[in-house]
Every structure is written in C-alpha cells, then in structure tokens.
A and B are shown apart, each in its own frame.
Chain A
Amino acid sequence: MTAEAPAAPPQAPPPDRTPPPEGSRALRVWRSVRVPAAVVAALVTVSVLLSLGAERFPTGHLEPESVSPDGTRALVNVLEQDRDVHVTRSSAAAEEAVAAAGDDTVLAVFLDHRLLPEELDSLAALDVDTVLVRPSTRSLEAFAPGVEMTGREESEGFLETAPSPGCDLPAAEAAGDAHVAGELYTAPSGAVGCYPAEDGHALVRVRGDGTTTTVLGTGRPLTNTALDTAGNAALALNLLAAEDVVWLRPDPPQQEGGAGLWELLPSGLRWSLVPLVATLALLALWRGRRMGALVSESLPVVVRASETTEGRAGLYQSRKARDRAAAALRSGFLERTVPKLGLSADAAPEAVVAAVAERTGDDPGHLRSLLHPGRPDPYAGDDDSLVRLADELDERARRLR
C-alpha cells in the first residue's frame, strides 16, 4: 500500500506528548491576564486622581482645621502669622506641647467636657496661662474654683447683640464690643468680669499663683463666621496673646474594652478553623484532581452542504430580489417541463409557449407573460405577485404531468 500519511491536523498532539514550550505558556497567561490588569490599573489611577483633587477638611464645632462656618481655621491661620500654634487633640499631647513651649505660652481649651476629671486636674496643675472656652462645670472647678455659671444668654441671631466690655481688662477694653453672649459666670473677688449681663459676666479672668485663667462663655466669636465682625478678632487675638499657643480640642473619647463575638467563642471553636481549611483544601484536591490531562482532538469541519444555497436565499430575501427569484423559478419550471414536451433544451421561447398552451389550453398571451415576460416583469412587482407566479407555475406543472 502506498497510502501517504495524511497531513497532520493543526493541533494534533505529537505522540510523545511533549509539553508546550514555556514561552508560549507565558504568552498565553499574559494574554488572559492583560485585560483585567489594565482595567484594575485604570480604576486605581482614576480613583487616585479623584482623591487628589478633593482635599477633605475635618468638620466640627471650633475645629481648627475646619473651613465650615463653625470652624476656627481662620483664627488659627491668623495666629500662625506671628506666633507658634500647636494644635493638640488630647490632654497628654497638650501637656507635652506646653512643656516643650517657652515661658510665654497660652493654653486654649475647647470642648473640655470630652476630658476625664483626672485629665482636667492634671491640665489645671500646669504652670501656664489658660483660656477656657465654654468650660464644663467640672472644668470650672478644676481651673477656676470660685467661678460659677449663673445663667445663659443666647439669642437666636447672636450677631445682633454685641455687648461692650465694661471692665478694665486690657484685652477686652482694646477689643471693644464683641459677640460674646453665651454662658454667664460670677466673678469672685479678685477676678475681673467683663461683658456684664443680667446674671453675670460673659468673660471672667481669675488670677492664680503667677498664671491667669480666662473663662469665655462661648466659642462663637472665634468661629470663621463671626471672626471678622465687631471686636471678635481683636478679642481673640488679645486673649491668646503669647509666643506659643497650645490649642487643645480633644477628640471624643474612644470606646475601649468590651468583647466581640470572636472573643466570646470558645478557643476550640476558633482553632477549628485551621483543620476546617485543611479539610476544604483536601476536599478540593480529592474532587478536583484529574486522572491525567485532558485529551485534545482536532474536530472536523461541520458545515452543511446546502449552506451556499441557504446563503443565497438569505441574500434574495434581504435585498427583496424578486426579479432574480422569479427568473430562477421560471427556469426551474422550464428545465423540468421542456424535455417532457418533446422539445430540445434550447427550443425557442415561442415554440415552448405554443407547446404548453396546446397541452394546457391556456391563453398563449398569458403564458408568454408567465414564462417569458418582457420588461418590466409583471410578477416581480411585489411579494404577492411572486406568490401568484409560483402558484401558476405549480398549476401548469400539475397539468402537464
């Protein structure tokens, strides 16, 4: 036998089943990975760019970084022009900052209800001038014993009323009217009370041994909104007149202690995760391990022999090629019929028409327009006339059988 070996099919594996070269494998991995990798890289880039554009400022009442109406960023910026401002978030940090600063230092304490009593005591024991803004009762006790809160004078639009200092405190006197309406305090003997109202003073300065403690009933004159009206800015700058300003706005105390569900589980249950993971890995290995590699096979082409005819039918249909369809139907009819009539295949149209008319008894004129129409073809006008053509041809074919 001299049968030649057939050409090797494209992906037929060689008999010794050598693994594919490493290069092509790396290439395949790269091809499958590159699109997801590109998408991820694009997402990361876009999100980084977006986050660069949007600088986020912290918000909060009297927050030194906040640009919102009740923040104090404006004041801090002004202070920073000619003195050192140390913004601290906890009493420990404030104590460190005070210790690190020079002799001429002011400690400004805001939102001191967030501080623990012991922290307040330790802050009060510092040898430094202090400004308390709307202090808590406990804070008043620690910093300025003797000063009591006596009332509150808060108007809806607090910028409407700007009481005058009415005292000989230089800081207040120089500032003049300021929007300090808020909590009111008694001024014990030896203390200076300014901005008097019905129930007391909005600003009280107490002298301790070598240091002063100033209590301000409200933080509003220090906010971004109110800083540039009346004497607010001057009052603030005067109160904080020192080389170093330690600004303490404590963060809310963190919840500490307490146990989550995880801690409450018995340790045996927690540790059972390790053998569970091992079990799942073994399960995957048991079920997933294949007995040998998949066997590839080059499959033959599957195409119907009538594919080209179907394709042509689709073309006729999509282009509504009625003239061509009619011609094909006619020639099919004629090629089947003419030999039966005893005529040769290349018989003249007239002879064919005459022969058919004789056998079927039809009108030759009608037959001529049916079988050999002139232009325009009367049966190619629309789909209905094409159907009529087929029906008439079938009718003739039946009668000629």
Chain B
Amino acid sequence: MVVTGRAVLLALAATVAVALSGLIGAEVTAVAMGVLVALLAVDVVLAASPKAMRLSREGDTSLRLGDSATVSVTVANPTRRNLRGSVRDAWPPSARAAPRRQPLRVAAGERRRVRTTLTPTRRGDARAAGVTLRSVGPLGLAGRQRTLPAPWTVRTLPPFHSRRHLPGKLSRLRELEGQHTAMVRGQGSEFDSLRDYVPGDDVRSIDWRATARGEGVVVRTWRPERDRRILIVLDTGRTSAGRVGDTPRLDHAMDAALLLAALAGKAGDRVDFMAYDRRTRAQVRSSGKGSQVGRIVEAMAPLEAELVESDPAGLVGTVLGTQGRTRRLVVLLTDLNAAALEEGLLPRLPALTSRHLLLVAAVRDPAVDRMAAERGGADALYRAAAAERTLGERRRVTAELRRMGVEVVDADPEHIAPALADAYINLKARGRL
C-alpha cells in the first residue's frame, strides 16, 4: 500500500473541515474519516495489480569501466486495468543507475519499455536487484507496490587505459621485425626470407651463397621468434589490495597485463593468463592464433583482491604442473614486498627459472618516494627514514631476483604498462624468449 501527496491533501482538507465544523464536530469527523478511508480503499482496490505484470529484460551485458550501458525492462500488462504509477529498476549503488525512478503508464494489454542507464564506478559484475512497480489507483490517492525479480547481470570490464601506448609499442615491434617503413634491418634470431639487396642494407646480412646462385645481390632478413608462449600471472593476494593513488595495485597490474597481452598477440606469441592467490581465481588458455585480449578482459572483470597471503609454492606448482613443458615467458605481476617474496617465492624460484624465463613486474608507490624526500623537522625525517627503509628492502629484493636470473620491472603506476611492454620487446629483441 502506498499513498500519494493527493491523499495527504485530502486528509488535510478533512482536518480543516472538521476544525471549522463547530458544535457538530463528532458527526463531521465520522463522515470525513469514513469518506477518506473509503476513497483510499477504493483506490487501492481499483489500482492495477503490480504483481500481475510480466517483466522481461534486454540490453547491454558488458561495458568498459568509465562507459555507460543501457539496460531496459519491458513491462507487459496482461490485466484489464491500466497501470499508472512509477517504476524503479534497482541496481547496486556503485552501478550508478539513472534515472532512479521514472513514471510509467501501461494500458491494459500493452507493454512498455523502461530504459535505465548504468555508469558503474567499479569493475566487476553488477546484478539487478529487482524491479519495483508502484501502481496508483484511478483517483490518484493510493495504490499498491511490489518488487518483482528481473535478473540481469552487467559486467564492467577493466578500462584498459594503457591502450594509448599500444600504437607506439607496436611500431617498435615492427621495427624489430624489419617491417618498419624506415627499412631498418630486422633484428632477431629467426631466419625469415631472402630478398634483393637495396642500398642501405647492412652488408653483413648479404647471403653470399644465394648471391652466387642468382643474378643480383641477395640479403637475408631476420625476424624475431614467433609463436613463443607467454603466461601472465596476476597475484590477487593481499598485497594487490593496496591502493596506489586511487586505484588498487591489482587494477594497475591488470592494465599492464592487458597492454602486454595485446602486444604479444600482435607479435604472434601465444598468451595465457592466470590469476592466483591461494588458488586459481581465473584462467585463460590460448587457443591457436588470434588475440586473447578480449577473453582476458572478460576473465579479469570479476577479479577482486583477496585478503589472504598469496601462496607462491602453489603458484610455482601450478605454473609448472598444468602449463605444459615448453619454455615460456612467465610474467608475474605482484608487489616487491620483501617479507612475502623472501619467504615464499625466492626459495622456489630455481624450479621455475630452470624451465621458464621469469619476469616480475611490480607497481611502485610514488607516495613512498615522496615520503623519502620529506625534510624539515625530526618528524618528517622519521617518515623519510621509514620510506628509505621500504625502498631499501625493495632494492634488496630486486637485486636478489636479478641475481637469480629474473627480469624485474619496477615502475610507477603511470609507467608500469609501457615499462612492461618495453621489457617484453627487449627480451624479444635479444631473442631470449
């Protein structure tokens, strides 16, 4: 049961009438209250039953964080009364559903579509909480209300801000392959093809044997290895929950991972993806050629940082056990947290590095760097000293990892994605994949 402002006005009018009635107050009160109650009851009874409405949904199922999605509910009115009132399509607060409520009129036997725009502020799945229908009677005094289920899920994908770095990195990659317009000789270790010499080619790349067989001078071209396997591992343990700037480490890492996946896909490498803390949270296996970015984005969307300590032993075991025996580049996106890494990962590294090439990428917190530079007064120095201590531990772990043959990328949130892409391109250029 709901009432409208009109019912309040009616009751107010009844109050005034009774107040002015003088000596026959009791009788006027009885009549006024009786009329009021009767009108409200008639309106409630005559309102179209919201329970009888049939709902169906359609609309977007996924969007990138920062974009908007439109989801619509179709309200069908199978009753013989006209539905007049309002409707609210309820979503979790972070989905920013708008408008919150909208007027609705559905004539008997007709249907009407209600659109709601979602602008989520968080990555992940948003589930519709239900559609509330409010049906007001013909007098507009009172009515009925009912919340009906209309399940729908909209998945908000990671924003992939680092897309803007992709063209630049791809051109570096093409440079590597010799396809660049500057006609630079392709670097790399894999024999690609023979072609005619053009002035400007490196004379060291002339294939004398082929030249002797044919008419003109022939050079060999080289290209980087293709079809290498890359495994991107996202650490979703407690260290990934910390916020650098306004965004958790996990989201910075996702951004970097997506750029790397896009780049590696273009370079012809196979990209697998795994998210792990104490168990596998998400996994994408490459299936043949083609970019895996879309599938990785889908897999990343519902991931949240778990407040548990990651299990490096389980991680190493999973990588070694289930990911085949071929050599691959394992990119571990985690935090260079001295305690966690020294206790967990370092002792188990040899098993991993003996078979695969490991690259550890970590987001560095600029706030700590700023703290280390604080001066003026003893209190600022205590903060600076604590920051120096953190940075020192980070340097120590980095040095330790490098000594064990691990590539380390440690960069600010703005630079982690391009830095990781550069590291990958460098490895490719050196033929280390």
Q: Are B36 and A387 in contact (CB under 8 A)?
A: no
Bound complex: CA of A266 vs CA of B363, how far in Å? 79
Q: Are A313 and B304 in contact (CB under 8 A)?
A: no
Determine, out of A102-110, A112-120, A279-287, A355-363, the stretch whose residues face the partner at the interface: A279-287
Option from A2, A295, A299, A391 in Cβ contact (under 8 Å) with B91: A295
Bound complex: CA of A17 vs CA of B382, how far in Å? 51
Q: Are A317 and B305 in contact (CB under 8 A)?
A: no
Bound complex: CA of A384 vs CA of B383, how far in Å? 15
Option from B25, B88, B93 in Cβ contact (under 8 Å) with A297: B93
Q: Are A3 and B130 in contact (CB under 8 A)?
A: no
* Chain A 333-352: CB-based contact to B (< 8 A → 1; otherwise 0): 00100000000010000000
Give the residue name and chain of the A residue nearest to B335 (CB): A305
- CB proximity to A under 8 Å, residues B1-50: 1-5, 7-8, 11-12, 14-16, 18-26, 28-29, 32-33, 36
Any B CB within 8 A of the CB of A270: yes
| B residues near A309, Cβ cutoff 8 Å | 368, 371, 386-387, 389-390
Q: Are A317 and B384 in contact (CB under 8 A)?
A: no
Q: A7-B306, A268-B25, A305-B365 are in contact. Are A390 and B381 (CB under 8 A)?
A: yes
Count the A residues whose beta carbon is within 8 Å of the partner chain — how many?
A: 69
Q: Are B378 and A303 in contact (CB under 8 A)?
A: no
Q: A7-B306, A282-B8, A328-B389 are in contact. Are A275 and B395 (CB under 8 A)?
A: no
Minimum CB–CB distance for A372 against chain B, Å: 16
Any B CB within 8 A of the CB of A267: yes
Any A CB within 8 A of the CB of B109: no
- CB proximity to A under 8 Å, residues B250-282: 280-282
Q: Are B15 and A279 in contact (CB under 8 A)?
A: yes
Bound complex: CA of A5 vs CA of B19, how far in Å? 65
Minimum CB–CB distance for B388 against chain A, Å: 3
Q: Are B134 and A312 in contact (CB under 8 A)?
A: no
Option from A291, A304, A321 in Cβ contact (under 8 Å) with B367: A304
Q: Are B8 and A386 in contact (CB under 8 A)?
A: no
* Chain A 1-44: CB-based contact to B (< 8 A → 1; otherwise 0): 11111110100010111000000000000000000000000000
Q: A3-B282, A283-B8, A305-B243 are in contact. Are A274 and B33 (CB under 8 A)?
A: yes
Q: Are B303 and A329 in contact (CB under 8 A)?
A: no
* Chain A 362-401: CB-based contact to B (< 8 A → 1; otherwise 0): 0000000000000000000001101100110010000000
Option from B24, B151, B249, B384 in Cβ contact (under 8 Å) with A15: B151
* Chain A 257-284: CB-based contact to B (< 8 A → 1; otherwise 0): 0000000001111111011101100110
Bound complex: CA of A184 vs CA of B7, how far in Å? 79
Option from A17, A270, A307, A335 in Cβ contact (under 8 Å) with B149: A17
Q: A306-B365, A390-B381 are in contact. Are A266 and B25 (CB under 8 A)?
A: yes
Q: Are B36 and A271 in contact (CB under 8 A)?
A: no
Any A CB within 8 A of the CB of B385: yes
Q: A305-B365, A317-B379 are in contact. Are A312 and B389 (CB under 8 A)?
A: yes
Count the B residues whose beta carbon is within 8 Å of the partner chain — how many?
A: 91
* Chain A 225-269: CB-based contact to B (< 8 A → 1; otherwise 0): 000000000000000000000000000000000000000001111
| B residues near A2, Cβ cutoff 8 Å | 283-285
Give the interface centre of B23, B29, B145, B244 by most chain A CB atoms within 10 Å.
B29
| B residues near A291, Cβ cutoff 8 Å | 86, 88, 90, 100-101, 132, 134, 145
Option from B15, B285, B378 in Cβ contact (under 8 Å) with A386: B378
Any B CB within 8 A of the CB of A331: yes
Give the residue name and chain of the A residue nearest to B89 (CB): A292
Minimum CB–CB distance for A37 against chain B, Å: 31
Q: Are A387 and B381 in contact (CB under 8 A)?
A: yes
Give the interface centre of B7, B90, B368, B389 by most chain A CB atoms within 10 Å.
B389
Q: Are B372 and A282 in contact (CB under 8 A)?
A: no
Any A CB within 8 A of the CB of B70: no
Bound complex: CA of A312 vs CA of B393, how far in Å? 13
Bound complex: CA of A279 vs CA of B391, how far in Å? 67
Option from A283, A295, A303, A313 in Cβ contact (under 8 Å) with B382: A313
Any A CB within 8 A of the CB of B129: yes
Give the residue name and chain of the B residue nearest to A1 (CB): B295
Minimum CB–CB distance for B72 against chain A, Å: 18
Q: Are A279 and B8 in contact (CB under 8 A)?
A: yes
Q: Are A268 and B281 in contact (CB under 8 A)?
A: no
Q: Are B283 and A275 in contact (CB under 8 A)?
A: no
| B residues near A326, Cβ cutoff 8 Å | 385
- CB proximity to A under 8 Å, residues B86-134: 86, 88, 90-94, 100-101, 122, 127, 129-130, 132, 134
Option from A17, A286, A312 in Cβ contact (under 8 Å) with B5: A286
Bound complex: CA of A302 vs CA of B149, how far in Å? 32
Option from A279, A310, A391 in Cβ contact (under 8 Å) with B386: A310
Q: Are A297 and B33 in contact (CB under 8 A)?
A: no
Bound complex: CA of A3 vs CA of B276, how far in Å? 12
Option from A269, A297, A317 in Cβ contact (under 8 Å) with B94: A297
- CB proximity to A under 8 Å, residues B128-153: 129-130, 132, 134, 145, 147, 149, 151
| B residues near A276, Cβ cutoff 8 Å | 15
* Pairs A-B, 7 closest by C-beta atoms: A305-B242, A292-B132, A332-B388, A271-B25, A383-B378, A325-B385, A3-B299
- A–B Cβ pairs within 8 angstroms, 23 of them: A2-B285, A3-B302, A6-B302, A6-B304, A267-B26, A268-B18, A270-B25, A271-B29, A272-B15, A278-B11, A278-B14, A278-B36, A286-B4, A293-B147, A304-B367, A305-B335, A306-B367, A307-B242, A309-B387, A310-B386, A321-B382, A324-B385, A390-B375
Given A271-B26, A313-B383, 20 new contacts (CB under 8 A): A1-B284, A4-B283, A17-B129, A266-B23, A270-B25, A278-B33, A286-B7, A289-B2, A292-B132, A292-B147, A293-B90, A295-B92, A303-B241, A305-B363, A305-B365, A310-B371, A324-B385, A328-B389, A383-B378, A387-B377
Give residues in A with beta carbon < 8 Å to B.
1-7, 9, 13, 15-17, 266-272, 274-276, 278-279, 282-283, 285-286, 289, 291-293, 295-297, 299-310, 312-313, 315-317, 321, 324-326, 328-329, 331-332, 335, 345, 383-384, 386-387, 390-391, 394
